[in-house]
Amino acid sequence: MGEMSNRKSEALVKTEHLSVRFPLKRESPFSKRRYVNAVSDVSIEIFKGEAFALVGESGCGKTTLADATLGFAAPSAGEVFFNGEKLDIRNKKRLKQQRRSMQKIFQDPASSMNPRFTVARAVAEPLMIRRELGEKRILSKTAEAIESVGLSSGDLDRFVSEFSGGQQQRIAIARALVSGAEYIVCDEPVSALDVSVHAQILNLLMDIQKERGITYMFISHNLASVRKFADRLAIMYLGRIVEYGDAEKVFANPMHPYTRMLIDSVLSLDGGKTAINAPPEANEALQEEQGLYASNDGGCGFRRRCPIGRSECESIKCSLEKVESDHYTECPYAANR
Amino acid sequence: MNVFSVKNLRVAFPTPRGIIRAVEGIDLSIERGECLALVGESGCGKSVTSLASLKLLDPSVSIVKADEHTILGENMLDKGEREMESIRGKKASMIFQDALSALNPVMSVGKQLDEVFTLHFHLKKREAKARSIEALRSVGIENPEARYRAFPHELSGGMRQRVLIAMAFASNPALIIADEPTTALDVTVQKQILSLLSEMRRKNGTALLLISHDLSVVYSMADRIAVMYSGRIVEEAPAEELIRNPLHPYTKGLMGAVVRIDDKKGRFTQIPGGLPDPANKPEGCYFAPRCAEAAEKCGKCRPKLAYTGGSHYVRCFMHGGERDGRNEQ
C-alpha cells in the first residue's frame, strides 16, 4: 500500500514488512528450533502529530510491534524507519541519539516507577542520564513538566508511592514529556485505572498532544476509548494487522469480522442484561491454545473464531487490500458477507 | 428470606496518620437468587465491605462493627475464625479480581479445587477428583481431565478466572461475592466471563454481590445497584431505574464516564478531582467538593439516605435528603 502520498504530512514512524520472532524453548537439543511470530509482515505509517491506535487482545503482539518502533525488539525481517531514517538496532550509538525523541508510558505506573524515588527524581531521571543540563535547568524543567500534567511543584519532594494510581500515571506522563520527546508510545495507559480516572488521563494526553504536536502510538483493547482518542488505527490479530486506516472510516464501516467482534464486546448502558446474553464464543479454548503458533501454519489466523469463515480460509494468503482511501482490510470475504 | 444482610456496617483502620474510616454505616441485603452490585472508585470502601462481609479483615489492623450481620439467617457477629472457615467456601464464597494471585502457584488447579470437596464435604480423594473435573467442565473448560493437572501459570487469564468461578460454585453456595471479576481481562474475554457468571448464577439460583468500578459491567449483571462514595452508599435503586433516572450527581458522573462505541473523536467526559483524603474527610457531604450542583448547605452538614419512591434511595440534599445525625462526629 504505497499510495498514501496524497497525505500532506510525512510519516514519523514507518515499518516495512516488519516481522519479529522469538525462539521457543527446544524440547530436546536435537529438535528443530521453533519460533513464535509475535509480529509478522507489518507495514504501517504513523504520521507526524497524529494519535495512532493499535488495538487487539493480550498476546496479539501489540507491545512487541511498539517496542520494535522504539528499537527495543530486533526485527527478524523488514525494517523500521524513524523520521525517514532507518532504525538500526546494531548501531547502538545512533540508536541512543534517535531514542532521545522517543518515550514510553506503561500500563501500570506503580510498577514502572521506583516507589522509593521522589517525584522530582523519577521525572528528572531522563535528563540526569543525558548529563547535558546543569542542576538548575533540570530542576526548572522538572517543575514545568510536573505542572503541565496537573500536579503542583510542591509535590516534587513526595515519594511516588504516596500518590494514587491516576496521579502516578500523571507522573509517568511528566517523565515522558520532560525530555521533549516527539513520539510517545502509550501502552494501555489507563487499563490499570478506574473508569472515572480514564477520562482525566486521556483528556490530559489529548491536551498535551494539541499543545506540543506529539505523535502517539496508543495501545488499547477498548475500542470505545480508541474511537474518541485516535486519528488512525490498526487492528492486530496474532501478529498481523487485519484492518488498518483512518479511525472514523474503520468505525463507520468495519470490515474484518475480528474488528466487528471487538466492537460488539464493548459494554454500554443501553443493553442492560441482554448485552451479555449472546452465546459465548464457541472456540474460546481454541483461541487460547492456538495463540502462539497459528501464524505459522498458513491460512487466515482468525479462521477458527470467525463467524463467516469458509473452507478457502484454510489456505488463503492474507494481505491488506484497499476498501476505500486510507482503509484497508485483510479479509477478502468481508464485503459480501 | 435474606441470604445476606448487614446493618450499619462500620470499618475503621487505625493508622499513625489517624483513624481511617473506610466504611461508615452501610446497610445491604440480598435475597435468594438476586444480584446486588456495589459500584464506586478505588478507595471508596467497596472491597473492604466485601471482605468484612465474610469477616476476612485482619482484626489486628481493623475495627469492624455492625448492628446486624447474617448469612442465611445465621448471625455472624459472634462467630469466631474457626466457625467462619466452615462457612466460607461452603455457604458463601468469593471470586477475586486477580486470579493469578488468588490461586496457589505451586499447586495444580485440580488439587486446589479438590480442597473444596475434601474440606467441606469430607469426600475421598478420588470422589473429589471426579467432582472437580465435573466443576471444570461446568465452566466451559475443554478437556477438563488434562486441565485438572495444569498449574495456574499454564493457563490464560480468562481460563484462570473460569477456574476461580468453578471453585466458587463448587459447593453450590447461597451467596457469592465477586470483587472486580473481569477487571484484569480483555474486553472479548470479559464478555465471555460475565455471561458465564450470569448463566451459572441462573442455573444454581445463587445470590451475587458484584463489586466493580465500571457501571457498564454492573448494568449487564445486576438486579439492584448501590453506588458507593467514600465509605457510604450515595444511591441505591433497581438497575433499570438507576440507569434511566439517576439522581445523585456522582451517579450521573459515573454514567458519563462510560464511553460509548458510537461516540466520535473528542474529549472524554470527566468527573473533576478525586476521592477525599480518608483520614481527613470533608465536614459536609463527602461529594460536595467535586459536585457541580453543590449548595451552601452541602458543605456544612451531611445528608441522610432518603427514599424517593420506587425503592430508589439517594443521599443528596437536592433530592429530599435530610441532615444525618447518625454518623456525624
Name residues 29-48 of chain B within 8 A of A (Cβ): 41-43
- Beta bridge pairs of residue B233: B228
Burial class (CB in 10 A: 0-12, 13-18, 19+), A119: buried
Cβ–Cβ under 8 Å, residues A50 and A231: yes
pLDDT at residue A286 in the model: 45
The model's pLDDT over B34-76, given as tens digits with 9 standing for 90+, comes to 999 999 988 899 999 999 999 999 999 999 999 999 999 999 9
The model's pLDDT over A243-260, given as tens digits with 9 standing for 90+, comes to 999 999 999 999 999 999
Number of domains in chain A: 1
B274 contacts in A (CB within 8 Å)?
164, 166-167, 197
CA distance A255 to chain B (A): 16
Which residue type sits at B295? Answer: A
The model's pLDDT over A28-67, given as tens digits with 9 standing for 90+, comes to 888 888 888 899 999 999 999 999 999 998 888 999 999 9
B42/A194 Cβ within 8 A: yes
Residue A198 DSSP one-character state: H
Q: Is the pLDDT of residue B308 over 50?
A: yes
- pLDDT band of B16, cuts 50, 70, 90: confident
B220/A275 Cβ within 8 A: yes
Q: How far apart, in Å, are the Cα atoms of A121 and each of A116, A124, A137, A235?
A: 10, 5, 14, 37
A273 contacts in B (CB within 8 Å)?
198, 219-221, 239
What's the CA gap between B132 and B148, in Å, rounded? 8
Q: How far apart, in Å, are the Cα atoms of A263 and each of A302, A309, A319, B180?
A: 16, 18, 22, 22
Other CB atoms within a 10 A radius of the CB of residue B89 amount to: 19
Q: Is the pLDDT of residue A9 over 80?
A: no
Evaluate whether ipTM surpasses 0.85. no
pLDDT at residue B55 in the model: 94
Question: Quick check: is A140 in a domain?
Answer: yes
B188/A261 Cβ within 8 A: yes
pTM of the model: 0.86
The model's pLDDT over B272-307, given as tens digits with 9 standing for 90+, comes to 888 888 888 888 999 999 998 888 889 888 898 988
Candidates B41, B42, B187: best to mutate against A (most CBs of A within 10 A) is B187
Domain hosting A120: range is: 109-181
A268/B260 Cβ within 8 A: yes
Question: Quick check: is A144 in a domain?
Answer: yes
Q: Is the pLDDT of residue B247 over 70?
A: yes
Cα–chain-centroid distance for residue B321? 26
A276/B191 Cβ within 8 A: yes
What's the CA gap between B251 and B236, in Å, rounded? 10
Residue B32 DSSP one-character state: T
| Of A198, A224, A261, Cβ closest to residue B260 | A224
Task: Work out the percent of chain B whose per-residue pLDDT is above 70.
Answer: 98
The model's pLDDT over A154-188, given as tens digits with 9 standing for 90+, comes to 899 999 988 888 899 999 999 999 989 999 999 99
Of all residues in chain B, the one with the smallest CA distance to A167 is B274
Q: Is the pLDDT of residue B182 over 70?
A: yes
State the Cα angle at A295 between A292 and A298, rounded to 5°: 145
Of all residues in chain A, the one with the smallest CA distance to B263 is A228
pLDDT at residue B278 in the model: 84
Mean of pLDDT over chain A: 86
Indicate left, alpha or beta for B311 from its phi (over 0: left) and psi (-120 to 50: alpha): left
A33 or B321, greater pLDDT: A33
Read off the pLDDT of each residue in A184-193 and give the average, rounded to a whole number: 91
The DSSP annotation for A260-328 comes to HHHHHT---SSSGGGGG-SPPPTTHHHHHHHTTTGGGSSS-TTGGG-TT--GGGGT-----EEEETTEE
Please tell me the total number of residues recorded for chain B in this structure: 329
What's the CA gap between B65 and B59, in Å, rounded? 11
B186/A58 Cβ within 8 A: yes
CA distance A203 to chain B (A): 6
Question: Quick check: is A99 in a domain?
Answer: no
What's the CA gap between B92 and B206, in Å, rounded? 10
The model's pLDDT over A92-128, given as tens digits with 9 standing for 90+, comes to 999 999 999 999 999 888 888 998 999 999 999 999 9
B153 contacts in A (CB within 8 Å)?
none
Name residues 266-295 of chain B within 8 A of A (Cβ): 266-272, 274
Cβ–Cβ under 8 Å, residues A57 and A1: no
What's the CA gap between B182 and B187, in Å, rounded? 9
pLDDT at residue A31 in the model: 85
The structural architecture, per CATH, of the domain B2-91+173-319 is: 3-Layer(aba) Sandwich (3.40)
B189/A224 Cβ within 8 A: no
A251 contacts in B (CB within 8 Å)?
261
Q: Where are the domains of chain B?
A: 2-91+173-319, 100-172
pLDDT at residue A59 in the model: 82
User: Among the listed ranges B65-74, B116-125, B254-263, which one has the minimum average pLDDT value?
Assistant: B254-263
Name residues 66-125 of chain B within 8 A of A (Cβ): none
pLDDT at residue A274 in the model: 67
Q: Is the pLDDT of residue A279 over 90?
A: no
Check if B214 contacts A (Cβ < 8 Å): yes
B190/A267 Cβ within 8 A: yes
CA distance B132 to chain A (A): 18
| Of B142, B143, B265, Cβ closest to residue A228 | B265
Q: Is the pLDDT of residue B326 over 60?
A: no
Read off the pLDDT of each residue in A321-326 and give the average, rounded to a whole number: 91
The torsion angles phi and psi of A322, rounded to 5 degrees, stand at -75, 135
pLDDT at residue B128 in the model: 94
Of all residues in chain B, the one with the smallest CA distance to A192 is B184
| Of A199, A263, A276, Cβ closest to residue B257 | A199
B157/A58 Cβ within 8 A: yes
